A and B are shown apart, each in its own frame.
Chain A
């Protein structure tokens, strides 16, 4: 009989108790996986919108959200004229609503916008985008707004003719609305400005000099490399931190559940632990047994939690309201962190029970024969 067999037997002996512990960890794993994946996915989708067509993002310094950022179109034109700058494209971000959709992302762009060029045009064409005074919808937006090419789409207090429908890889864009920049500026009362400038350069080595030049020329603006943007942008940081914090709380509950399971397990076999001690088990071996059991519970919880997490995300994918806004791709990094946290939670939950078990006084335990 191996040590592991003893651990397995102990966990099987009170199956309901063990299952409660497993459920606690599984809840933590599933909750963290779902929350972090969804929010991280949302952040990633938004970040990809920025990353796909630029190397550097220029936006207004000290704004809490890009929706509040104002970059003058004339400043963007100045940047475009700087040596080494391949392009500097304005984008205006806004939020609109329709009858049953409280939030629809709206992108004010020019017809040079790579996201429109690279999109799959299901109806209409890019040629008439800026001259039409209509809007181009992402395929999911067209679906939930129940409109087709040439129809009038009600957005906010106005109605716009649908001049194109595109399918994009990005959920935000696919569930969003593209407006010609000038029209978006008028609609959002932001004449003469954009939210950001997406800048591409002739040479990667010019990135830092460009950023320095922005700082010097436009003190009200800030420029970040797109890779850096994801880490520096406060909204992303808040969302990510919130996701991990919510997940952490779920894990705390899971840890308490394991601790409770293991405490009950130890209290229920004080005499048995004394017998093991009499038969030569050292305190370290006793602690090893308890930690082994909690690790087993945690591992089982990880497996169940991952399955539940995947299941819940598959369900979320089917929720019409969330279509286009959730990225349910599970990233290896998230999975790794969640698994490591689950195991750590399992071990942390076993700390006190293991300590208690090693302190059991064999003679006292045996005296109550």
Chain B
């Protein structure tokens, strides 16, 4: 087992030898992580807090820069500036642990933010929102303000927002981390269903081993290095997984 993950087919996301540290290199978060992810594949990044999962997602989305290494999307360097903004508008959607919706805006307005950023026509955006709201079961809450929604509804709204511009890649950072057991499974299943239906690539950081093992690939993040344990985890029970 090593941290160079071989491609399954032509990769939509690829990162090579990513190194990242904080606090003037005193905290080394990633140590040469590499991975290739195919179109439509779902990948779970499982690891303890501080193992580097979120940092990895931030690097893939271009929100942060690696100390060393590179990220490629569709075979091209991720880029920066205008190119990166275009990627965030059209190719990459992000779901956070805390929904990170904008207070005082309605659910509809929150979902529309990526469309506003990308200058999508209102008619097109409205149709897309209606489709996603139906799929996530929040149609009747569209004009409610975020403060009036439950935790599950807020996270489903966050899913809608991430999917608004039909991205190729969804990066989900503990998307069910703040939800109760019932909502945790519902929201995850919804996320999985939507990305599979639309052929979207999902890279999800999670503590939740049970949900992680339902992804196509199961990668353990340990001390900034990735380990592909897809095959192993399929034979492990929940207690064994917790030990990872």
Instruction: Report the nearest A residue to B85, measured CB to CB.
Output: A282
Specify which chain A residues have a CB less than 8 angstroms from the CB of B88 in the assembled complex: 277-280
B3 contacts chain A at the CB level, 8 A cutoff:
no
Return A270 CB to nearest CB of chain B, in Å.
12
B96 touches A9 (CB 8 A): no
Specify which chain A residues have a CB less than 8 angstroms from the CB of B89 in the assembled complex: 280
Q: Which of B113-121, B190-198, B224-232, B236-244 is the interface stretch? A: B113-121
B117 touches A285 (CB 8 A): yes
A3 touches B96 (CB 8 A): no
Given known A276-B117, A278-B88, A280-B88, contact A363–B63 (CB-CB < 8 A): yes
List CB contacts (< 8 Å) of B101-137 with chain A: 102-105, 108-109, 112-114, 116-118
Return B67 CB to nearest CB of chain A, in Å.
13
Specify which chain B residues have a CB less than 8 angstroms from the CB of A2 in the assembled complex: 116
A272 contacts chain B at the CB level, 8 A cutoff:
yes
A281 contacts chain B at the CB level, 8 A cutoff:
yes
Specify which chain B residues have a CB less than 8 angstroms from the CB of A6 in the assembled complex: 105, 109, 113, 116
Contacting residue for B96 out of A281, A282, A285, A369, CB 8 A: A369
Instruction: Report the nearest A residue to B105, measured CB to CB.
Output: A9
A271 contacts chain B at the CB level, 8 A cutoff:
yes
Given known A1-B112, A363-B58, A363-B64, contact A275–B100 (CB-CB < 8 A): yes
A278 touches B63 (CB 8 A): yes
Given known A1-B113, A363-B58, A366-B58, contact A278–B94 (CB-CB < 8 A): yes
| A274 to B100 alpha-carbon distance, docked (Å) | 10
Binary contact track A260-297/B, C-beta < 8 Å → 1, others 0: 00000000000110111111111001000000000000
A272 touches B108 (CB 8 A): no
> What DSSP secondary structure best describes chain A's contact surface?
helix
Specify which chain A residues have a CB less than 8 angstroms from the CB of B64 in the assembled complex: 361-364
Binary contact track A66-110/B, C-beta < 8 Å → 1, others 0: 000000000000000000000000000000000000000000000
Contacting residue for A1 out of B90, B104, B108, CB 8 A: B108
| A363 to B63 alpha-carbon distance, docked (Å) | 5
Return B75 CB to nearest CB of chain A, in Å.
22
A3 touches B94 (CB 8 A): no
Return A81 CB to nearest CB of chain B, in Å.
78
B4 contacts chain A at the CB level, 8 A cutoff:
no
B165 touches A280 (CB 8 A): yes
Instruction: Report the nearest B residue to A283, measured CB to CB.
Output: B85
B97 contacts chain A at the CB level, 8 A cutoff:
yes
A9 touches B58 (CB 8 A): no
A276 touches B113 (CB 8 A): yes
Specify which chain B residues have a CB less than 8 angstroms from the CB of A275 in the assembled complex: 100, 102
Contacting residue for B116 out of A1, A361, A362, CB 8 A: A1
Q: Which of B94, B103, B117 has the most CB of A within 10 A?
A: B117
| A277 to B96 alpha-carbon distance, docked (Å) | 14
Specify which chain B residues have a CB less than 8 angstroms from the CB of A9 in the assembled complex: 102, 104-105, 109
| A1 to B104 alpha-carbon distance, docked (Å) | 13
Return B170 CB to nearest CB of chain A, in Å.
12
A215 contacts chain B at the CB level, 8 A cutoff:
no
B61 contacts chain A at the CB level, 8 A cutoff:
yes
Specify which chain B residues have a CB less than 8 angstroms from the CB of A276 in the assembled complex: 113, 117
Instruction: Report the nearest B residue to A5, measured CB to CB.
Output: B109
A128 contacts chain B at the CB level, 8 A cutoff:
no
Instruction: Report the nearest A residue to B122, measured CB to CB.
Output: A2
Chain A residues near B (Cβ < 8 Å): 1-3, 5-6, 9, 12-13, 271-272, 274-282, 285, 361-364, 366-367, 369
Chain B residues near A (Cβ < 8 Å): 54-55, 58, 61, 63-64, 82, 85, 88-90, 94, 96-98, 100, 102-105, 108-109, 112-114, 116-118, 161, 165
- Knowing that A9-B105, A282-B85 touch, tell me 19 more A-B residue pairs with CB under 8 angstroms: A1-B105, A1-B109, A6-B116, A12-B104, A275-B100, A278-B61, A278-B88, A278-B94, A279-B88, A279-B94, A279-B113, A280-B90, A280-B117, A280-B118, A280-B165, A285-B117, A361-B64, A362-B63, A369-B97
Rank and list the top 7 A-B pairs by shortest CB-CB distance, nearest first: A280-B89, A280-B117, A363-B64, A1-B112, A363-B63, A1-B109, A363-B58
Q: List 12 A-B contacts (CB under 8 A).
A: A6-B109, A12-B104, A13-B104, A274-B63, A276-B113, A276-B117, A277-B63, A279-B161, A282-B117, A364-B64, A366-B96, A366-B100
